[in-house]
């Protein structure tokens, strides 16, 4: 193994840890949200404000990270973003008033946004240095971390959320500090194979916005799965426990697809993988919501996660050809779909029925399949 190969391997292992840790933190925060609400005596409206503050902070962090994420600053952004995220999570566990939660959630979201851009930009550089797809496996680490974080939160359900948030924050802090020297070495490991990120793609703004729109369509589906999959199963008279497995099956399908995504992308190309996967996702979810069966619904959500698994990694890779600001643009636009999508589905369900409303993410997946080639070709270097 050459020195360059060894350096790329170390960078990939390091970035896997950052994606894994981010997934754990976000799952722990989301799973213990009811405890946060109870501790601060928040109404539903109050909790919504806290979530909005986190979303606003994240958008600001993504934009700031996009401006700051030059190659020589990536180690600092990775380390600083992860440490700030750990600290904000620990502080969130101690908050007992709405005002304190709003401030901490804003900081938490900002740290999340900075770390998101830094990790994805570094992942694009690592992939360019490896000269083969690795982005999907890195995003698989996030999915696995999220599953692990959710399991941790469930296993410690009897423990105060403040203790869990503090322990998770301290563990992340210790890990980041131990990994500090390796993170500092990340800046030069993949320099030779990366085009200039500041000037690339200035004439391709339309293509970058199309990537963002497709990311929003994909993440709207993720938001639908997170907020509505269990409700969908409940409307089919499934038990509470069985209903809860719907999102777990979606997440499992997503993780499996991402673990195999790099090999498929190397063999078939990103456009073919994303197009075929999106078509599979559309067919799976449409079947799951139109067939009045619990088993069909569970299978539909699993296939939906599997089909969409390669979308965001491929879109981020395409955006990364034009530098961190393009990554930030695609990320911000994509997260808007994640945030707004569940509310849109709720409004449609109120006007029609939930199965009818859930056809929206299936239709968007079909549109994604139709537009994938154009989007990825428009951003080719």
Whole-angstrom distance, CA of residue 350 vs CA of residue 370: 29
Structural domains in the chain, CATH included, are 3-193 (1.20.1250.20), 204-378 (1.20.1250.20)
pLDDT beyond 80 at 276:
yes
Structure confidence at residue 195 as a pLDDT band (50, 70, 90) = very low
| Residue range 70-96: mean pLDDT, rounded | 95
pLDDT in tens, 127-165: 988 889 999 999 999 999 988 988 898 888 899 999 999
pLDDT beyond 70 at 346:
yes
pLDDT beyond 60 at 10:
yes
- DSSP line for 243-297: HHHHHHHHHHHHHHHHHHHHHHHHHH-HHHHHHHHHHHHHHHHHHHHHS--HHHH
pLDDT beyond 70 at 193:
no
pLDDT beyond 80 at 381:
no
Structure confidence at residue 4 as a pLDDT band (50, 70, 90) = low
Entry field: residues in the chain: 381
| Residue range 179-195: mean pLDDT, rounded | 65
| CB neighbour class for 229 (10 Å; exposed up to 12, middle 13-18, buried from 19) | buried
More confident residue, 10 or 94: 94
Structure confidence at residue 189 as a pLDDT band (50, 70, 90) = very low
Among residues 182, 190, 197, the alpha carbon closest in space to that of 82 is found at: 182
| Residue range 354-367: mean pLDDT, rounded | 96
Judge whether 64 and 113 are in contact, CB under 8 Å: yes
More confident residue, 82 or 129: 82
Structure confidence at residue 170 as a pLDDT band (50, 70, 90) = very high
Among residues 215, 190, 175, the alpha carbon closest in space to that of 12 is found at: 190
Structure confidence at residue 185 as a pLDDT band (50, 70, 90) = confident
Structure confidence at residue 187 as a pLDDT band (50, 70, 90) = low
pLDDT beyond 50 at 307:
yes
Q: What is the pTM of this model?
A: 0.86
pLDDT beyond 50 at 202:
no
The rounded percent of the chain whose pLDDT value lies above 70 is 93
Position 5 scores a pLDDT of 76
pLDDT in tens, 215-274: 999 999 998 998 889 889 989 999 877 887 888 899 899 999 999 999 999 999 999 999
Q: What is the chain's mean pLDDT, rounded?
A: 89
């Amino acid at each position: 193994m050459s020195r360059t190969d060894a350096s790329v391997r170390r960078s990939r292992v390091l970035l896997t840890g950052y994606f894994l840790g981010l997934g754990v933190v976000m799952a722990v925060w989301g799973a213990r949200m009811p405890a946060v609400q109870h501790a601060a005596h928040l109404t539903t409206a109050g909790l919504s404000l806290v979530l909005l503050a986190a979303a606003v902070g994240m958008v600001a962090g993504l934009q700031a990270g996009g401006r700051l994420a030059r190659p020589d600053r990536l180690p600092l952004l990775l380390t600083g973003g992860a440490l700030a995220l750990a600290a904000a999570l620990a502080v969130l566990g101690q908050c007992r008033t709405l005002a304190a939660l709003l401030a901490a959630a804003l900081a938490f979201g900002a740290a999340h946004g900075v770390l998101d851009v830094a990790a994805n930009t570094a992942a694009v550089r690592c992939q360019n240095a490896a000269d083969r797809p690795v982005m999907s496996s890195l995003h698989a680490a996030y999915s696995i971390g999220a599953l692990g974080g959710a399991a941790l939160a469930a296993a410690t359900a009897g423990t105060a959320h403040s203790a869990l948030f503090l322990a998770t924050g301290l563990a992340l802090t210790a890990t980041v500090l131990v990994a500090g020297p390796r993170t500092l070495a990340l800046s030069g490991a993949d320099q030779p194979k990366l085009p200039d990120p500041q000037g690339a793609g200035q004439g391709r703004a339309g293509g970058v916005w199309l990537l963002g729109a497709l990311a929003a369509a994909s993440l709207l589906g993720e938001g639908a799965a997170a907020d509505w999959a269990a409700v969908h199963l409940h409307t089919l008279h499934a038990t509470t426990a069985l209903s809860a497995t719907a999102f777990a099956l979606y997440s499992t399908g997503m993780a499996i697809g991402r673990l195999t995504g790099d090999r498929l992308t190397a063999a078939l190309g990103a456009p073919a993988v994303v197009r075929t996967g999106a078509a599979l996702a559309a067919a799976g979810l449409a079947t799951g919501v139109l067939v009045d069966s619990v088993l069909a619904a569970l299978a539909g959500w699993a296939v939906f996660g599997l089909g969409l698994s390669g979308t965001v990694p491929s879109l981020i890779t395409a955006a990364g050809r034009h530098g961190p600001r393009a990554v930030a643009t695609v990320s911000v636009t994509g997260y808007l779909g994640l945030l707004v999508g569940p509310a849109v589905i709720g409004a449609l369900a109120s006007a029609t029925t939930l199965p009818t409303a859930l056809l929206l993410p299936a239709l968007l997946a079909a549109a994604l399949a139709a537009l994938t080639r154009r989007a990825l070709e428009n951003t080719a270097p």
